[in-house]
Amino acid sequence: MFALAWANLMHHKLRSLLSALAVGIGIMLMLVSNGLATGSLAEVDQRMQSVDAELVILPAQDNIIFTGGAPFRRGHEQHLCQAADERGPLAAEVIPVFFGQVKMGGQQQRLFGVDPRQMAAFLGPRRVLAGKLFERAGAFCDRLRAGEAAAPSLSDPAYQAFIADGLELVIDQRLQRVGGYRLSDELQIMGQVFRIVGIIETGVAGRVFAPLQTLREIALAGEPSASMYFVRLRPGLDPVAAADFFQRGLGSDVRVELKSDYGRLLRESFAQVSLYLNASSGVALSACFLFILLTMYTTVIERTREIGILKSLGVGRGGLLRLSINEALLISLGGVAIGMVLAFLVRGVLLVYKPLLTVELAGRGLAAAVIVGVVGGVLSALYPGYRAARLDPAVALSAE
């Protein structure tokens, strides 16, 4: 029956190819959309895991993907700083991060506002490839802390001079290559002109860094708030117990999570979008498998006489159903193969035109494509196969 199914498909090569191509396009959509989602999430998680910390502190209500602004109150940072104090029981270092947005490398990037003195927690073993970690690291903040109050108006020349040495960016090598940036290039961000002062190895939490206090001055008038906090614990402490401690102290409008759970939190936050993506892929694939159903149904109508011949030879209903399923399976598995090739091609194209995107085409997604192909193929063959099986042999043989 398998050989007969293959021969039948080869007899209508173009139709078979078009059917397989339809499935292939659906499979490609599924692989690329999911691969883009999982790849991007995995990359963000991987970069976040590079931060030298055990806990992350986030606003309780925020979707982690869209965390931004300054949802924390002054009291939160005071509480955290006390914990990080020399006499504090738990934290070795509290690392506030304020997120801004900047368009670089052809797409929106999350701008990480961090204290220059804490860059080591982000950099880890990665090297500074060019320039420095903020040209006057710390000087800007030191001046702020020394009480040199900022002028109230952003447009005030005195204020501009005050923050000038804080208008600095450090970017990673991937973004530098994609955007073709060089040291001393200037970019307009939040109404200010920032200058690239350093390029670091790829793999750090953010692709673009700016001094935290600069962003706080520009966006929050110096208010000590942040979008999220990392906490590095004293050695030997249990992160779970420490997380509980911070959670109790900070209250219910804040959530304290293990950094190792960040990937899971990302995926949970992405669930709604993921549902939409899966639904879109599902609709596309359903249309593709309807195409197979239509092809198989047309085949049954066209080959009514052949079905009669097979019945006269003693092929039963099960045999005819298997024949139909085999043909549909061959089409759909061919479609899966085409879809995989197309998905890798699309990934290649994206790498050229959108190099900052990550499309993950890993074993799990590919295996899912095969399963979808097999299940879809079988389902789309059932009705045509049933029709073929139910044909009366004498009537089928008399068909023209």
Partner 1 sequence: MNDELMIDVRDLHHAYTHGGVVEPVLHGIGLHVQRGEFVVVMGPSGCGKTTLLNIIGLMLTPTRAETVRVAGCETLGLDEALRTRLRRDALGFVFQRFNLLRTISVRRNVALPLGLRGMAADGPVDDLLARVGLAGMAHKKPGQLSVGQQQRVAIARAVVGRPALLLADEPTGNLDSANAAAVLDLLSEVHRADGQTIVMITHNEQLAVQADRVLHMRDGRILD
Mention every residue, 6+ apart, whose C-beta is less than 8 A from residue 62. Answer: 71
Residue 305 lies near partner 1 (rule: CB under 8 A): yes
Residue 308 lies near partner 1 (rule: CB under 8 A): yes
Identity of the residue, 121 or 396, whose beta carbon is nearer to partner 1 in the bound complex: 396
Is residue 60 within 8 A of residue 252, CB to CB? The reply is yes
Residue 248 lies near partner 1 (rule: CB under 8 A): no
Residue 302 lies near partner 1 (rule: CB under 8 A): no
Is residue 373 within 8 A of residue 23, CB to CB? The reply is yes
Residue 313 lies near partner 1 (rule: CB under 8 A): yes
Q: Regarding beta strands 192-200 and 128-131, do their DSSP bridges make them parallel or antiparallel, or are they unpaired?
A: antiparallel
Which backbone phi and psi does 146 adopt, to 5 degrees?
Answer: -75, 0
Q: Which H, E and C letters describe 171-206, residue by residue?
A: EEHHHHHHHCCCCCCEEEECCEEEEEEEEECCCCCC
Residue 217 lies near partner 1 (rule: CB under 8 A): no
Q: What token pair was written down for 173?
A: 């090598």
Which backbone phi and psi does 92 adopt, to 5 degrees?
Answer: -85, -30
DSSP state of 149: P
Name which of 266, 275, 269, 340 is nearest 40 in CA terms. 266
CB of 288 to partner 1, least distance (A): 25
Residue 392 lies near partner 1 (rule: CB under 8 A): yes
Identity of the residue, 218 or 388, whose beta carbon is nearer to partner 1 in the bound complex: 388
CB of 330 to partner 1, least distance (A): 13
Residue 306 lies near partner 1 (rule: CB under 8 A): yes
Residue 385 lies near partner 1 (rule: CB under 8 A): no
Name which of 45, 65, 54 is nearest 245 in CA terms. 54
Residue 222 lies near partner 1 (rule: CB under 8 A): no
Return the amino acid letter for 176: Q
Of residues 210, 292, 315, 356, which one binds partner 1 by CB under 8 A? 315
CB of 398 to partner 1, least distance (A): 9
Residue 312 lies near partner 1 (rule: CB under 8 A): yes
Q: Regarding beta strands 186-189 and 208-211, do their DSSP bridges make them parallel or antiparallel, or are they unpaired?
A: unpaired
Distance CA 33, CA 274 (A): 9
Residue 394 lies near partner 1 (rule: CB under 8 A): yes
Task: Find tokens 């368009």 and name the residue.
Answer: 103
Q: Residues 317-336: x/- map of binding to partner 1 (CB under 8 A)?
A: x-x-----------------
Residue 74 lies near partner 1 (rule: CB under 8 A): no
| Total residues interacting with partner 1, rule: CB under 8 A | 23
Identity of the residue, 79 or 311, whose beta carbon is nearer to partner 1 in the bound complex: 311
Distance CA 207, CA 202 (A): 8
Residue 145 lies near partner 1 (rule: CB under 8 A): no
According to CB under 8 A, which residues from 4 to 23 bind partner 1? 4, 7-8, 10-11
Interface residue list for partner 1 (CB under 8 A): 3-4, 7-8, 10-11, 305-306, 308-317, 319, 392-394, 397
